[in-house]
Chain A
Amino acid sequence: MPDPTADIGEKIFSGTENLDDFLRGLDRLTRGLPARIDADPKTVEQGLAKLVLTLVNLLRQLMERQAIRRMEGGSLSDDEIERLGQTFMKLEQRLQELKVAFGLEGDDLNLDLGPLGKLL
């Protein structure tokens, strides 16, 4: 059987010189929630933490946007703005700490629904 990768260059009709830039971005495209939780005892904790923290982070972002909309719409008092802001700030700090504690990084908590795109 001929090497199936031999003719890969023939499939590019424009921008061969840009190929490396596109390849670098590929892993971001395929990242998202793992198709399965890895059941390896060493990493199962990290996999579950990622799943749970991703959901908590999603809720935080949703609520935060709701708060921003209400603040911009003028329906929050100064006290409420301060209280909500403090709450979200602490929640975000705590999430960052947990992320570090579980060895997660960068975009690990961003929920990507694959073909459906990002949730937020």
Chain B
Amino acid sequence: VTYVYAICDVPPGAAVELRGVGGQTVDLRPWGECAVACGEGPAGVVPVTAENVLAHEHVLEALMAAGTVLPMRFGTTFHRTSDLEAVLELHGERLRAGLDRVRDCEEWGVRVLWRQPDEQPGTPSASEQTPLPTSGREYLIRRAAEEQRRRAVEARAEDLASAMHLELARSAEDSRRKVLATPDLLLSAAYLVRRDRMTDFHSAVRQLVAAHPDLRVLGTGPWPPYHFAPHLDATEGAHA
């Protein structure tokens, strides 16, 4: 099967020697003025292992160093070359627009951990402390209070995360964010930042860290623009 790594726009002959998932050779097949980075591998689902994921990432990093890449999701495979060609034909316009959108940009990630407002270290949670409710009414009232607390925490998280996100998004072309992906993960976000605005973005992150000593921030990158590429799907219903 054909494993697709990326649609890319790299100068001809710029491609370094690439080894992909399972050690396969990665070719740059011309596609209009751009190229499709792909390799041939055995049929079947590509196992999600650290080695394979890193191999995928390495191919994209190498291409990114040489030009513009529109990364494909890990494990994007086509049974026949003709299937791939059909999808490229079908979504050609969207893919070219996608390439233009990420040109001269890199993806940077920011994750923020918080301590929930009512969470104090060392104290057992409410359910461990209080005895079981003695009546159905008491049970429902307790549940209602828990619901209210939960909604208040979510609203607080949304406010805080939105404010932080807004500051960071100022120096980005585009962004994706998720609030409370887990109860501790206040914000997980990806930013599409132009290379010439990278220092602006980094300084925005530094200011954020300085302004919120109570939060733990992790900034990563630069990544291939994973979050800003349309999915290349073998089905007609593929969507961005």
Report A's interface with B, CB cutoff 8 A. Answer: 1, 4-5, 11-15, 18-19, 21-22, 25, 28-29, 64-65, 67-68, 71-72, 78, 81-89, 117
Contact = CB atoms under 8 A, between A and B. Distances in A.
B209 interface: yes
A22 B113 CA distance: 8
B205 interface: yes
Top 4 nearest A-B pairs by Cβ distance?
A85-B136, A14-B219, A86-B136, A4-B54
A81 B143 CA distance: 12
Contacts of A29: 181-182, 185
A84 B140 CA distance: 8
A4 B139 contact: no
B195 interface: no
Contact of A12 (B55, B206, B219): B219
29 contacts: A5-B54, A11-B223, A13-B108, A13-B202, A13-B205, A13-B219, A13-B220, A14-B202, A14-B205, A14-B209, A14-B217, A15-B216, A21-B113, A21-B216, A28-B184, A29-B181, A29-B185, A68-B140, A68-B143, A78-B137, A81-B140, A85-B135, A85-B139, A86-B135, A86-B136, A88-B136, A88-B143, A89-B136, A89-B139
A78 B220 CA distance: 55
Contacts of A88: 136, 139-140, 143
Contacts of A5: 50, 54
A85 B219 contact: no
Contacts of B182: 25, 28-29
B103 interface: no
Nearest to B19: A1
